[in-house]
Amino acid sequence: MQKLKLLTTTALLVVITTSCAQTKKEFQWPNGAKSAVALTYDDGLPSHVNTAAPMLKKYNFKATFYPTLSSPSLFDEMEKWKGLATAGHELGNHTVYHPCQKSGVDMDWVPDHYDLDTYTSEQIAEEIKLANTLLLAMDGKKTRSFAYPCSHYFAGGKSYKGFVSSQFPSARGSSEEQKQLMALSDIDLYNVPSWAPNNHGADELIAYIQNIIEQETLSTLTFHGIGAEHMTVSIEAHEKMLRFLDANRDKIWVATFEEVTAYLESERNSTEK
């Protein structure tokens, strides 16, 4: 009898274990892709609407643009910026004046009046809320993602990351250094990692994307000037990268930052249930 009970218990454990294994959901991005990337463009530069946007249209990719709302390009070419939203791109919040911590390494270029070290928590919060209002007037949307200017999230020595998490579904960091990619489970949705290329060529851009594919994770690219302005990536390198992404749609999902982070959060919630 004791032996029969032992066999019955063992069989029951096998059934339960098998059932759990079968119901455990394997993470998968849309279209069966095993990885994802968001292409993002910072600071509201003329090359974004005049060069990057037409190239994205050519390859049918949607991206996220984080314009600094005081950028002269928005005043000069407002209809083109509004057209980005109409075309399905995301207009994300990157503040009005792009304040950064002047105390950081090589940050002497930051004007004193836009120095986050001298901002108060209330000041950065009001600037972010104003940026949301201006963006609402541009695209009619009340939900969007945020990108920390210079990847800095301390104002007057205090983190404003908590305020960002109360206003946005997700936020992006950035670094000129290629940092180690993170597992999906370790990604902080309010400081999603991103590499900001600076005069890098197509081979380096593609190698970074290949790494995302191989590690089956999510990352983003932070572009500035495309063929012009600052932290420039050449038009040729940018297009070769788009061609590579186009040829690998089955391996990597390309979408706006808001879309990829919302999908990640949704999948996390579904697997926890």
* pLDDT score at 270: 77
- Please compute the mean of the pLDDT values over residues 235-240 and round it to a whole number: 98
In 3D space, the residue among 176, 100, 174, 141 whose CA is nearest the CA of residue 258 turns out to be: 141
Q: Does a structural domain hold residue 257?
A: yes
Report phi then psi at 146, rounded to 5.
Answer: -125, 145
Render pLDDT for 147-175 as a digit per residue (tens, 0 to 9). Answer: 999 999 999 999 999 999 999 999 999 99
In angstroms, rounded to a whole number, what is the distance separating the alpha carbons of residues 234 and 243?
A: 14
Q: Does a structural domain hold residue 13?
A: no
Specify the range with the lowest mean pLDDT, choosing from 4-13, 45-54, 95-104, 154-163: 4-13
Which secondary-structure segment (H or E) carries 63?
none
- Please compute the mean of the pLDDT values over residues 39-45 and round it to a whole number: 98
In angstroms, rounded to a whole number, what is the distance separating the alpha carbons of residues 41 and 179?
A: 19
Give the structural domain span for 164: 29-272
Query: Measured between alpha carbons, how far is residue 19 from residues 6, 12, 16 in Å?
Result: 20, 11, 5
Q: Does 49 have pLDDT greater than 90? A: yes
In angstroms, rounded to a whole number, what is the distance separating the alpha carbons of residues 46 and 94?
A: 16
Q: Which residue type is seen at 11? A: A
* pLDDT score at 273: 53
Q: Does 4 have pLDDT greater than 90? A: no
Read off the DSSP letter of residue 6: H
> Is the four-CA dihedral 14, 17, 23, 27 of positive or negative sign?
negative
- Please compute the mean of the pLDDT values over residues 182-207 and round it to a whole number: 96
- In CATH, what number is assigned to the domain containing residue 60? 3.20.20.370
Q: Does 20 have pLDDT greater than 70? A: no
Core vs surface per residue 203-229: b (16+ CB within 10 A) or e: ebbbebbebbbebbbbbbbbbbbbbee
Q: Does a structural domain hold residue 131?
A: yes
Q: Does a structural domain hold residue 72?
A: yes
Reduced to 3 states (helix: H, G, I; strand: E, B; else coil), residue 102 is: coil
Classify strands 171-172 and 194-195 as parallel, antiparallel or unpaired: unpaired
* pLDDT score at 2: 52
* pLDDT score at 271: 65
The dihedral formed by the CA atoms of 60, 61, 62 and 66, expressed in degrees to the nearest 10: -130
Specify the range with the lowest mean pLDDT, choosing from 7-16, 82-91, 103-112: 7-16
Q: Does a structural domain hold residue 38?
A: yes
Render pLDDT for 240-270 as a digit per residue (tens, 0 to 9). Answer: 999 999 999 999 999 999 999 999 999 888 7
In angstroms, rounded to a whole number, what is the distance separating the alpha carbons of residues 256 and 252?
A: 13
Beta carbons of 93 and 146 less than 8 angstroms apart: yes
Overall number of domains in the chain: 1
Q: Does 70 have pLDDT greater than 70? A: yes
Q: Does a structural domain hold residue 1?
A: no
- Please compute the mean of the pLDDT values over residues 179-205 and round it to a whole number: 96
Query: What pTM does this model have?
Result: 0.90
pLDDT band for position 18 (cuts 50, 70, 90): very low
Q: Does a structural domain hold residue 16?
A: no
User: CA Rg, the chain, in Å?
Assistant: 22
> What does the block give as tokens for 20?
């759990």
Tell me which residue has tokens 């600076």.
198
Specify the range with the lowest mean pLDDT, choosing from 12-21, 74-83, 124-133, 166-175: 12-21
In 3D space, the residue among 130, 55, 48 whose CA is nearest the CA of residue 90 turns out to be: 48
Q: Does a structural domain hold residue 183?
A: yes
